[in-house]
Structure 1
Amino acid sequence: MRDFSSMSLGSRNGPRTSSSGLYMGGSITAVTINQSLLAPINLDIDPKIQAVRTHEMNQIKGLNNRFATFIDKVRHLEQQNKMLETKWKLTQDQTTGSSNIEPMFQTYIKNLQRQLDQINNDKDLLDMENRNMHHNVEDLKSKYEDEIRKRNTADHDFVLLKKDVDAGYLSKVALEDRLAGLEEEVNFLKVLYDQELGELQSDVKDTSVVVQMDNSRGLDMNQIIADVKAQYEDIAARSREQAESWYKTKVESLAGQAGQAAEELRNTKAEIAELNRLISRLQNEILAVKGQKANLERPITEAEEHGEIAVKDARALIKDLEVAMQRAKQDMACQIREYQDLMNVKLALDIEISTYRKLLEGEETKFGQQSITNISTTKPCKFYHPNLLDAPDRTIISKVNILLSHSFTFEPCFTKAYTIDRI
């Protein structure tokens, strides 16, 4: 194997070194004679040369195998390229059908929204009824408190009237006692007057008195006593009548007030009982309304929960579909990028193949013009560059730059070569 590391493809007019080591220029040069060729040929075989040749042959075989693998890889990439082109055409030809899932979800969401609006309207109506009921309860509560205040006022008035009745009764008892005392006093005075009158009559009857008076008017003591007695009896009767009339008037007034208070108390008790019945009935109605409200709030809450769950599920499904669609778009974009990369690789490989072909044709032409003829017993020679073999995924421009700026290695693929020098 010969290494041309000191040569560059950029200088095509420069000198080149053939496989036999002779120098060739672009024009005819002077013929030089190597004096060492006139010396006797040493036919001794150096064992190191044989080992070097064996090592070179093994390297040549390995490089040939690598080049064959590279050719197989190129063919495989071409097949993949054709397959991707076919898939791309099929993908371009396919028409994406419209999905009916989104309208179904939209319809379902609209139905749930209508149900939610209806439930909200029912909730507003129930809230309004609840507020009205609370307002009525507050009114009845205020009325009940007013009646309680009236009852307390009536109880206070009843206590005051009872005190007045008790005071009147005590006054009546005192007046009765006074009347009894006055009657006893009148009876005592009557007895006393009768006794004094009897004593006076007895004294007058036994005594004769001669009275000289200037007037001729007579004095009738019986009449005077009768008049005094009548006056006292009249005074006692008037006092008794006045006391009895005052007592009767006071008792009648107190009895009327007590009857009025009792009537008011009965009316108040009846109103309180009616209010208690009304309060109990309203409390029962409030409990029933609260039960209805709880029964209505339960399905409303369940409907809201089901609606929220359904909306969440729908949104999650829509999100999953969007994610799947985005993933499909990303996969398609990745396939497109892979297709473009494969196309770039294909173009690079095409350029490399054409470059190798031109290089091989040029080398064969130049070998035909050289003064040394190489006779090979195996396949044609191959021309390769190590950097290109190790980097199959380089871009076209970088590979062309490698071809123009780096040296190449020429591998003659033969097992045994003979060199014939032209004389």
Structure 2
Amino acid sequence: MSQYPYIPFRRAYSLSGIGSSKRVSTSTLSTPLSSVHGGVGLSLRNVGSLSFENNDRLAMQNLNDRLSTYLDRVRSLESDNARLEERIRDWSQSCSPVERDYGDFERTINELRCQISAGSRGNVKTMLQIDNARLASDDFRIKYEAELLLRQSIEADVMGLRRTMDDMTLVRAALEAQVEELNEELIHLKKSHQEEVMALRTCTGRDVRVEVDAAPQEDLSRVLADIRTKYKRITENNCREMEAWYNEKFTSLNQVVSLSSEVLESSKAELAELQRTAETLQIDLKFHCSLKATLEGDLQEAEQKTALELRQLQTKVHQMEEKLQTLRASIAQQSNEYSTLLDLKTLLEKEIAQYRRLLSGQDR
């Protein structure tokens, strides 16, 4: 049995490069250490039996050369690992997520919020103006309806007065006809009276004298004069009364018609003013409605644009987080590999120290 412990087969790793490209270089001992142990054991037995022959010295020298080469390889791997660590640190510092300045976005968002607030206040003012205009329109409509009712009542009064005037005209015509009939009757009575007077004169012109024992008769001309005077007075009174009544009615009707005309003209003017005011309010309402629609469209567009920018920023943040996670995983993997290399280095140093102790003991 060999007096040297068995040293397991080891592989040294060297990593170079970062990111997605990695290069792993491995170095292996050209001959397993177990065979070396076996060779050493045989050499020692041969030395014990052959008193350290020259072949055994050459084997030990070869082993020393291989150990020296292995140590050089270990030092090279350590330097490669140091350079790799430095490159990893540099890459980590260069690729570390830089805190972005969102001041521009915040200013844009604040400006959009101010515009939205101003648009909302404008919408509120517009709605208040619309409500005020609607209330004013209702008041004007109520006034218009009242004036319309007053106009209709005045027109009805005017129509009634016109019918009364027509009736008065008919009554006047009837009275004038009666006056004409009375005048004709008066003329007829005058003619009859003249004929009777002529007949009486003719009779009295004769020398016939007849005495009649009868009551004295009234004077016919005096009776006719009385009748004529009476009818004339009645006719004049009727004419004066009709003329006074007609003048009074005509004056009152003229006053009512004049007042109605003035009220009608003022109502027409007020109605025209109300119509102009209503048209102005309708134009203002359409303008504010279009302005409201425009502001709502701008607000919706700004919200969509802001949402799109936020989604893009979130996507970038997710991408940076994924890169950071990948980088952390890569760093963790490289740290594990470095720890493995350190463990391997420690183990190799222990084995080399053991070899040195063995070699120093062999030399002694």
TM-score interval (norm. to shorter): 0.5 to 0.7
Instruction: Tell me what 1:179 maps to.
Output: 175
Query: How far 1:130 sits from its partner (Å)?
Result: 0.9
Instruction: Tell me what 2:186 maps to.
Output: 190
Q: How does 1:108-123 map to 2 (within 5 A)?
A: 108-123=104-119
Structure number with greater CO (CA < 8 Å, separation at least 6) is 1
Instruction: Tell me what 2:244 maps to.
Output: 245
Letter matched to residue 168 of structure 2: K
Contact 1:109–1:311 (CA<8 Å) still a contact in 2? no
Q: Does residue 129 of the first structure (1) align with residue 125 of the second (2)? A: yes
Contact 1:84–1:339 (CA<8 Å) still a contact in 2? yes
Query: How far 1:198 sits from its partner (Å)?
Result: 5.1
Query: How far 1:193 sits from its partner (Å)?
Result: 3.9
Query: How far 1:328 sits from its partner (Å)?
Result: 1.8
Instruction: Could you tell me which runs of 5 or more consecutive residues in structure 1 were left unpaired when the two chains were aligned.
Output: 1-63, 362-423
Query: How far 1:280 sits from its partner (Å)?
Result: 3.1
Distance 2:149 2:315 in 1: 70
Letter matched to residue 235 of structure 2: A
Distance 1:144 1:244 in 2: 46
Are residues 241 and 101 of structure 1, via their aligned partners in 2, closer, same or farther at CA, if it must alter by over 3 Å? Answer: farther
Distance 1:197 1:310 in 2: 126
More helix by share: 2
Q: Deviation digits for residues 95-133 of structure 1, max 9, x if unmatched?
A: 95897943512x223312321232123113311331232
Instruction: Tell me what 2:101 maps to.
Output: 104
Are residues 70 and 342 of structure 1, via their aligned partners in 2, closer, same or farther at CA, if it must alter by over 3 Å? Answer: farther
Contact 2:140–2:274 (CA<8 Å) still a contact in 1? yes
Distance 2:149 2:35 in 1: 118
Are residues 94 and 70 of structure 1, via their aligned partners in 2, closer, same or farther at CA, if it must alter by over 3 Å? Answer: farther
Instruction: Tell me what 2:7 maps to.
Output: none
Are residues 261 and 142 of structure 1, via their aligned partners in 2, closer, same or farther at CA, if it must alter by over 3 Å? Answer: same
* From 146, 153, 156, the counterpart of 2:149: 153
Instruction: Tell me what 1:16 maps to.
Output: none
Query: How far 1:301 sits from its partner (Å)?
Result: 4.5
Contact 1:165–1:254 (CA<8 Å) still a contact in 2? yes
Q: How does 1:55-66 map to 2 (within 5 A)?
A: none
Instruction: Tell me what 1:276 maps to.
Output: 275
Q: How does 1:335-350 map to 2 (within 5 A)?
A: 335-340=334-339
Instruction: Tell me what 2:226 maps to.
Output: 227
Distance 1:90 1:99 in 2: 14
Aligned partner of residue 104 in structure 1, secondary structure? coil
Larger radius of gyration: 1
Distance 2:193 2:138 in 1: 79
Contact 2:158–2:256 (CA<8 Å) still a contact in 1? no
Q: How does 1:65-76 map to 2 (within 5 A)?
A: 67=32
Distance 2:184 2:198 in 1: 21
Distance 2:296 2:32 in 1: 82
Distance 1:293 1:230 in 2: 91
Instruction: Could you tell me which runs of 5 or more consecutive residues in structure 2 were left unpaired when the two chains were aligned.
Output: 1-28, 37-65, 204-209, 359-364
Query: How far 1:339 sits from its partner (Å)?
Result: 3.9
Distance 2:213 2:313 in 1: 148
Query: How far 1:145 sits from its partner (Å)?
Result: 1.9
Query: How far 1:92 sits from its partner (Å)?
Result: 7.4
Contact 1:168–1:254 (CA<8 Å) still a contact in 2? no
Q: Percent identity?
A: 17
Q: How does 1:260-299 map to 2 (within 5 A)?
A: 260-293=259-292, 296=295, 299=298
Are residues 112 and 311 of structure 1, via their aligned partners in 2, closer, same or farther at CA, if it must alter by over 3 Å? Answer: farther
Query: How far 1:333 sits from its partner (Å)?
Result: 2.4
Contact 2:147–2:267 (CA<8 Å) still a contact in 1? yes
Distance 1:141 1:70 in 2: 113
Number of residue-to-residue matches in the alignment: 286
TM-score by length of 1: 0.52
Distance 1:222 1:321 in 2: 143
Query: How far 1:269 sits from its partner (Å)?
Result: 1.9
